């Protein structure tokens, strides 16, 4: 419920009160003894969904734009006379005046905005380098990006060009500042002992996650934009929604900056593409939701222009997202291909060992180094195979090439295979304890092992046995 207070201009008292009576709104009138332009103040309760409709009719009754209108949230309203109003104005949709005021409050002063954004970027970049998801989430709490994202859409819907322009400018310059901040931080850290020399940030999981963006990243941004619009329309959860919006923007921006600092153009470009796509998606979803919710300018003459302007914005943003989504789709497809190749490689090698069935020989591990960027650039996959063999069995010198040929034939892709060997020992589960009931002492000999017997290298025969 809202409590609305309106100053009535001189000569409009009768028409204003008649308008309220016609809408079934209970009110109280107070004599105005302040400025001479007004003769009274009227105060009345109304559901949130009815504020905009009631105010439109009061405007037609003579309440000017330069009058004072105060909309206050109420804790409790005890009355049985409000049932008809609640049925007439159901829902929790706020008025355009409240929407405008909330959007304006969410966009902080420039100094505050850039201070918090730079601090958030420093924390996020640190979290990326530490591979700490908790640190990255903590950085999102102080990121002030929800305000500009929402105010840009609200300004466009309500024909407030100043608010819309400021929201867009803050988003663009803010994210550019975030990238620059992360780049400077990365350069500075490389001159200290805080980062080991020669570290490859591409191998850090939190960084790698932002350098291989896929179509699912788009859903994060779209959902964040919708959540931001709903939170401001319902007046709840704006802090948590701000975290979701910041997660879609600040970590990729920090990743792009770190890519610049470490001289990795692929990382820098991938992070920047993700930032731009998420930024466009957040603005698109918020703009569409505000428009579909029925918000429009108070001045009827501006509504047609706003409709055209909003349609143009949606079309431009949609085209931008569609173009950049091709990149996301390519990365998504490449990620699917590399994951499938890794799974097939492990299964094929395991099958070969199972069919050979050589006692004491086992496949310890298979590591496939094949990233989406390798697939897109046509680089060969690298497969590292670790094999456990008994000490009395000699490994064939051409085992890596055998694996290479087999994988190439089965998977249809050239690979580079590297094989490593470890000496494997298996305990005898039939061993018994000493007759005394205790464990027999273990004698570990460090003598040089005898020469390996002259046996043929282990390999599969046509029958599948060595």
In a domain, 396, yes or no: yes
- The residue out of 244, 270, 298 marking a domain boundary is 298
Q: Name the 3-class secondary structure at 428.
A: coil
Phi, psi of 257 (to 5 degrees): -65, -40
| Tally of structural domains, the chain | 3
Helices (H), 69-109: 83-88, 96-106
pLDDT along the chain (466 residues), means of 10: 87 88 87 77 86 85 81 80 77 79 85 93 93 89 86 90 92 94 93 82 88 81 86 70 83 93 88 90 90 81 83 91 85 86 89 75 85 82 87 77 86 87 66 44 38 40 41
CB atoms within 10 A of CB 78: 5
The answer to whether residues 298 and 59 touch, using CB atoms and an 8 Å cutoff, is yes
Q: What pLDDT score does 298 carry?
A: 72
**What's residue 184's pLDDT?**
95
Whether 230 maps to a domain, the answer reads: yes
The domain in which residue 83 lies consists of: 2-91
84 part of a folded domain: yes
Q: Is residue 432 part of a domain?
A: no
Residues 109 and 204 in one domain: yes
| Claim to verify: residue 419 and residue 287 sit in the same structural domain | no
For residues 182 and 266, membership in a common domain is answered with yes
pTM of the predicted structure, to 2 decimals: 0.72
Does 32 share its domain with 177? no
Identify which of 340, 419, 410 has the alpha carbon closest to the alpha carbon of residue 375: 340
pLDDT of residue 447: 39
Residues 179 and 279 in one domain: yes
Q: Are residues 359 and 262 in the same domain?
A: no
């Amino acid at each position: 419920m809202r409590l609305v207070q309106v100053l009535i201009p001189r000569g409009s008292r009768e028409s204003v009160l008649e308008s309220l009576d016609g809408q079934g709104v209970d009110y109280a009138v107070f004599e105005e003894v302040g400025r001479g332009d007004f003769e009274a103040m009227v105060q009345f309760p109304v559901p949130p969904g009815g504020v905009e409709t009631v105010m439109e009719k009061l405007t037609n009754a003579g309440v000017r734009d330069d009058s004072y209108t105060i909309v206050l949230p109420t804790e409790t309203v005890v009355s049985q006379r409000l049932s008809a109003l609640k049925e007439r104005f159901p829902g929790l949709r706020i008025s355009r005046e409240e929407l405008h005021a909330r959007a304006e409050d969410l966009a902080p002063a420039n100094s505050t905005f850039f201070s918090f954004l730079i601090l958030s970027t420093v924390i996020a970049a640190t979290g990326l380098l530490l591979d700490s998801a908790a640190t990255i989430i903590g950085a999102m709490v102080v990121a002030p990006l929800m305000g500009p994202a929402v105010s840009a859409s609200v300004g466009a819907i309500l024909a407030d060009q100043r608010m819309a322009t400021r929201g867009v400018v803050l988003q663009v310059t803010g994210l550019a500042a975030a990238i620059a901040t992360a780049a400077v931080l990365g350069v500075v850290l490389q001159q200290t002992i805080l980062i080991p020399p020669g570290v490859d940030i591409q191998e850090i999981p939190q960084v790698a996650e932002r350098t291989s963006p896929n179509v699912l990243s788009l859903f994060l941004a779209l959902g964040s934009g919708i959540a931001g619009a709903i939170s401001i329309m319902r007046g709840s959860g704006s802090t948590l929604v701000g975290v979701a919006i910041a997660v879609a923007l600040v970590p990729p921006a920090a990743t792009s900056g770190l890519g610049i600092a470490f001289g990795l153009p692929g990382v820098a470009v991938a992070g920047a593409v993700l930032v731009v796509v998420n930024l466009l998606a957040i603005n698109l979803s918020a703009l569409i939701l505000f428009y579909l919710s029925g918000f429009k300018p108070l001045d009827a003459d501006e509504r047609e222009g706003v409709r055209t302007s909003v349609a143009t914005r949606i079309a431009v943003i949609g085209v931008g997202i569609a173009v950049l989504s091709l990149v996301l789709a390519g990365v998504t497809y490449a990620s699917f291909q590399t994951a499938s190749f890794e799974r097939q490689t492990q299964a094929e090698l395991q099958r070969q060992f199972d069919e050979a069935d050589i006692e004491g020989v086992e496949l310890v591990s298979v590591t496939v180094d094949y990233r989406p960027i390798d697939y897109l650039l046509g680089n060969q996959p690298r497969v590292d195979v670790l094999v456990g063999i008994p000490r009395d069995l000699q490994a064939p010198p051409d085992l890596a090439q055998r694996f290479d040929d087999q994988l190439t034939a089965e998977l249809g892709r050239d690979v580079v295979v590297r094989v490593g060997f470890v000496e494997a020992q298996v305990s005898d589960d039939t061993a018994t304890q000493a007759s005394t009931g205790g464990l027999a002492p273990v004698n570990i000999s460090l003598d040089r092992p005898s020469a390996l017997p002259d046996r043929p290298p282990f390999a599969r025969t046509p029958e599948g046995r060595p």
